[in-house]
Every structure is written in structure tokens, then in C-alpha cells.
Amino acid sequence: MSDLEEFRRYREMMNERILSAGNLGIKRFFALDSRAYEEGVLDVKTKEMIGLVASTVLRCNDCITYHTIRCVQEGVSDEELFEALNVALVVGGSITIPHLRRAVDTLDQCREKQRKGQAVKL
Amino acid sequence: MSDLEEFRRYREMMNERILSAGNLGIKRFFALDSRAYEEGVLDVKTKEMIGLVASTVLRCNDCITYHTIRCVQEGVSDEELFEALNVALVVGGSITIPHLRRAVDTLDQCREKQRKGQAVKL
Amino acid sequence: MSDLEEFRRYREMMNERILSAGNLGIKRFFALDSRAYEEGVLDVKTKEMIGLVASTVLRCNDCITYHTIRCVQEGVSDEELFEALNVALVVGGSITIPHLRRAVDTLDQCREKQRKGQAVKL
Amino acid sequence: MSDLEEFRRYREMMNERILSAGNLGIKRFFALDSRAYEEGVLDVKTKEMIGLVASTVLRCNDCITYHTIRCVQEGVSDEELFEALNVALVVGGSITIPHLRRAVDTLDQCREKQRKGQAVKL
Amino acid sequence: MSDLEEFRRYREMMNERILSAGNLGIKRFFALDSRAYEEGVLDVKTKEMIGLVASTVLRCNDCITYHTIRCVQEGVSDEELFEALNVALVVGGSITIPHLRRAVDTLDQCREKQRKGQAVKL
Amino acid sequence: MSDLEEFRRYREMMNERILSAGNLGIKRFFALDSRAYEEGVLDVKTKEMIGLVASTVLRCNDCITYHTIRCVQEGVSDEELFEALNVALVVGGSITIPHLRRAVDTLDQCREKQRKGQAVKL
């Protein structure tokens, strides 16, 4: 199983487990989280790039993997992604470099899938 | 002197002081920082909203004041700003709320200046 | 106006401003935030101490002021507060010491009000 | 070897290695750390929930694994744990979600051990 | 009263208040904190520069003021301080710039005192 | 392949990938990052210890592995490393303990290589 598939499997399994636990606050938080990235006066692509940069400066690898996949799904180009990541690098400093590596690694895995005609799924 | 003017005065004075100190690394960093927000494949407005959200989740008030002013200068609407801040709030949690207050306070001071026909300066 | 009153005035004013802006996500987040501290299987006092420690290790002064006031309102004793803050100090390190000072300063202002027979309000 | 056993083995081995290195400051810090969670005016169970929430908002997986195990040992119920984690989620935002998954995963491994009549050890 | 004097007064007053509260863990932590910067195989000057950089990347203004004063007391030159701060800036990113301003502002206040033949006190 | 070799392989591969992507800002940042640790008025050994402590309080494992290797290459002794890590532990708190384990684990792998007469490479 590839990294992306393992990421998806674990994320899906644990989210189901957590949402089935019956804590209403957590369920509502997950709903708010999804809605925050839906189209409004800002489009989804912009919001996903914002989410990626926020995840990078906060240095959360799983969040970076998630938003990189979402950016690819929304049609963000490589150049756009690198410009957004450059802002993250300048804001967050060299401490974000290992996470920059993770974002680019995920990007490359997504592009590889696209080259093979496979869907980039979450 | 208003908050925004005091912010500008101190920031300008200290930046000059720091850049005149002769440390080449710091000077180059300041140049990189400026260039990161210049137009590329992403436009300046998008980059400034990204900078604002990154500053909010990292909870840096001066950075929030700076990027809110820059967003206003780039024509970000109130609704766009609130949508970007909503992403920051969801990503960064309630711990960002005092910084959300600061961003909105700065926004209101900028709009007040605009209503009076005054320039919103940095 | 005392520190606590200025804190309350600004917090109340800006919360009203933000909630009247019409961003549904932000409104729902504020509601979730309030509900998280309501009585459940854990009592309010325990939740407020948890909120205080979380605010201290994340080093947010406004959040520390808020939860210290709430702890006092819920009847947390000085000794209980110091034990909770000791956990925060050990987890978060010396970088939290300026925030420990803020928490104790707020505590002392609350106790002063109580000695004078005044309500400790938010 | 299960995740929990690998966690315990590595933690124990490295703690011994570090404590045998002869740095007095580090030894004393480890002692202070242990004592912070001992019974005082707050009971151990409350302190361990505080430790879990602090670890979650600071997003430290090893600390989350440790305090989740300790919470289970102290008799924290699933509902209590989820309420504490809900506070962590609201305070720390969606960036804590991968760590929430880790906490619940650890909880489930502990409950599985208990169902089999095995001790939940550190 | 100057910034440095107000910083010293408040820090001293609150430390006394906290240490007199009778929480043994907190007292021991404060002792450990002091000892960590005493001469060992590393000299005090090196340790204070390390403390300053750690405070800067963690973005704690009071800690930055404290360690800048201590660096000046230990004879760190302006050039050494700027080189240490440059490492902090590169590691921590532009989000540390407001704190870099604070460090340099404190440095300038200390140098002003020295020019006047006054002691730089904590 | 050992941990250190896997770390080196992945770091080298991804850095090449990122630097070949054509984003000028990122390339310049990487150059600034390298230069920050070069000899100036502070020697390389001091700067690498500063880099290690900054990485530890910011809790970045890859950065800790990198700077521990560099410290060993620059002749930092075990006692010096533990004193620097003690400062990191006191500043950053128990939340840094898992990263302290990582630093010491890397140190031990480096010393093992040296005992075998092998180069400690990056």
C-alpha cells in the first residue's frame, strides 16, 4: 500500500471511529471544519492553498498531506503550490523545511497517479 | 497618535535600525520576505490573505496588523477577510480568538480611514 | 478602569462586532467554544482548569485572564490553581513563566475584588 | 510487538540512557515532571486529564500516548476522555485532529487489552 | 520609569509573589531554571545566547528582554548578538521579526545605559 | 539501512527535488539557511549548538537529527551537548522530552560510527 493509500485508510477509519463515539462537540467541530473550505466569496482553490500554508507553518504533516491532495484535486499548478509554500517557508522559517519536503513528496505522488491516469483520491 | 500610526512608526524605526546594523543575513532575509508577497503566478491579494491566515494561526499580533492593512490596500472585501479568518479560526482553534479580535479591530480602523478619505498607509 | 475591566470591555465589544459580521462559520465556532466548557460527565470546574492549563502552555495571555476569572468563579482554590499551573509550567517550560505571572496577577485582582465584596465578572 | 509495547520499550530504554548520562539538571527535571502528576489538592485523575489536553494542544504524539495510558490506568471513562479531548480540539483547532486520532487509537488499544484481561502498562 | 525598569519591577514583584505561594514544584522549577544558565562545560555567555535564540524562536518578548540584558551583562558584542539573532530569524522565520525588533530595542536601551555609565541591571 | 543513512538519503533526494523546481525564493532561502551557520564572529560549533537548541524547543525531529550530527562533526563533547539540551528542556518543558530522546539516540548512533572508525556524514 502506498503512503497516500495508507494515509487515506487510517484517516477514514479513525474519523469514523471518532464520529461514532457520540461526543456532539467533536461531531460539530468536524462539520465546521469541512464547511470552512466550501466555496463562498473565496473559491475552494484559494481556501485550500490557505489551508496548506496554515498547515505548513504549524508543521502538521498529516494536514499537509491532506491539503496538498486537495490542492491537486482543485487544479493548483506546481508553480502555484511552490509560491504558496515559499510564503510558508518565509513566514515559518527553516523549521518548516522537513514539512516542505513532505508537501513536495505528496505532490509528486499525486502527479505520478495523474500521469498513470489514476484518480487522486482522499 | 492612533494605534495604526504608532505601529507604523515603531516598525519603520526599528526596521531601519536593524537593517543598518550590517548583518548581511538579516538584510537578505528582509529582502526575501518582501519578495515572497510580490505578484507571481499567484496574485498579491491571494498572497496577502495567505500571509494573514499564517500570521493568525501563529498568533503574531504585529504580523496580523501588517497583513490586515496590506489586505485592505489590495482591495480584499470584509466578507473575503472574514472567510479567510474563519479558516484561521478553524485550523488554529479558540486560542486564535484574541488575534481574530485584533485583525477585525485593525480592519475597522482601516475602513474608518477610508470613510474619511484618508490613505491606509504602512 | 482596572485591567480586568478593560479586558472585559474590549472582549465584549469585539465579540459583538465579530458576531454581527454575518460569518456563519465564526458564529458557530463561538457557540461550540462556549459549549465545550458546560457541564457534562466532567464538571465545569475541571473543564475550566483544563482550559487554563491549555491556555498557559499555548501562552495566550487573554485566554489565561479569561480562564483564571472563570476558575475563580467556579470556586477553584489558590492551591488548586497553583497545582494546575505547576503542571502547565512543567509541560510548557520556562517560556510559560511570563504567563504564569499573568495568571497569578489576575488571580490576585480577583481575590482583591472578593475581599471587597465585589462580584468577579466576565 | 504492538505499538504500545514498542512505545514503552523505547521510552524506558532512552530514559535510562539519558538519566545515566550524569547531567544533574536533566535528572532533576525528570523528577519534577513525575511529581507534578502526584496527588495533591487535585487528584491524579484530574492531573492526567490536564496533562493529556496540554499534550494534545501542543501536538506531541508520544506525550498523548503516555497520558492516554495514564488516564486509562486512573479509571477515566471513554466519555470523560472524549469531553477532555473536545476541549483540546476547540482550544487547539483542526490542527490537533491527527493527534485526536492518535489519542483515540491508543485508548482503543488499552480497552482491547482490558477486554483480554491484560494489564495496561507503561 | 523606562521600559527596562518597568520590566524589572514587575518581574521581581511577581516572582516573589509566586515563590511565596508555597507550591514546591514551582519553586524547584525556578531553581532549575536559574541553574541551567550557570557555568558548566559551556560558559555563561554561550548559554545566554542559546537562551536568547530559544526565546526568539518561541516568540516570548519577556524572555527576549531578559536574555538580551543577560547577554549584555556577559559581554556579548553587538555583532555576536546579531549573528545569534540571524540564526533565530532563519530558523523561526518572518514571524519572529517583531521579536527581533524587541531584542534590538532592548539592546539599544542597554547600550544607552552603558554610555551614561549606568549599570545594566536585572 | 540505518536511521541516519535513511535520514541522509531522503533529505538529499528531496532537497535536490525542491531546488530543481525553479522557485527562486525557496532557493535563496536554502542559501541563507546554510550561510547562517558559517563562521562569523561566532564559531560554527556555537552556532550548531544554538541550532540544536532552537530545533529542540520547536520540537522538529529532522532538524534535531541534522544539528546533532553537525554538533558531533564540529567536535561538541557529550557533556556540552547534554548541557545545551538541558537548557532546551528547561526552556521548552517536558513536551520536549521525546525530542531529547531523539537527540541522544542520534548522538549514540554517531558515537557508534566513530568507535568503528566510520565517518559521521550528512
CB contact under 8 A, B60 and E98: yes
Please state the rounded mean pLDDT for residues A105-116.
97
Does C1 score more than 70 pLDDT?
A: no
State yes or no: ipTM above 0.95: yes
E91 interface with A at CB cutoff 8 Å: yes
Q: Say what the pLDDT of residue D2 is.
A: 75
Q: In whole angstroms, give the CA distance from residue C21 to residue C27.
A: 9
Cell numbers at F112, concatenated? 557508534
D122 interface with F at CB cutoff 8 Å: no
- Spatial neighbors of B55 by CB under 8 A, at least 6 apart, are A91, B63, B64, B66, B67, E95
Cell numbers at F95, concatenated? 513536551
Q: Which residues of chain D have pLDDT under 70?
A: 1
Nearest to D90 among B57, B91, B93 (CB): B93
* pTM check: above 0.90: yes
What secondary structure does DSSP assign to chain C, as a single string?
A: --HHHHHHHHHHHHHHHHHTT--HHHHHHHHHHHHHTS-SSS-HHHHHHHHHHHHHHTT-HHHHHHHHHHHHHTT--HHHHHHHHHHHHHHH-GGGHHHHHHHHHHHHHHHHHHHTT-----
**Contact list, C92 vs chain F (CB under 8 Å):** 92-93, 95
Chains that touch C (3 or more CB pairs under 8 A): A, B, D, E, F
Does F1 score more than 90 pLDDT?
A: no
**Contact list, A91 vs chain E (CB under 8 Å):** 93-95
E79: number of Cβ within 10 Å: 14
pLDDT in tens, F36-92: 999 999 999 999 999 999 999 999 999 999 999 999 999 999 999 999 999 999 999
Nearest to E32 among D25, D35, D36 (CB): D25
Please state the rounded mean pLDDT for residues C60-84.
98
> pLDDT averaged over chain F?
97
Nearest to E23 among C82, C97, C101 (CB): C82
Q: Say what the pLDDT of residue F2 is.
A: 75
Does B63 score more than 70 pLDDT?
A: yes
Q: Say what the pLDDT of residue B34 is.
A: 98
**Contact list, D63 vs chain F (CB under 8 Å):** 94-95, 97-98
Q: Say what the pLDDT of residue B3 is.
A: 86
pLDDT in tens, B35-52: 999 999 999 999 999 999
Please state the rounded mean pLDDT for residues B99-112.
98
B25 interface with F at CB cutoff 8 Å: yes
**Contact list, D26 vs chain F (CB under 8 Å):** 82, 85-86, 89, 100
Q: Say what the pLDDT of residue B1 is.
A: 56
- Spatial neighbors of B39 by CB under 8 A, at least 6 apart, are none
Do residues E110 and E76 touch, judged by C-beta distance below 8 A? no
**Contact list, D105 vs chain A (CB under 8 Å):** 14
Q: Say what the pLDDT of residue D109 is.
A: 97
Q: Say what the pLDDT of residue E1 is.
A: 55
Q: In whole angstroms, give the CA distance from residue F69 to residue F65.
A: 6
A104's enclosing H/E stretch is helix A97-115
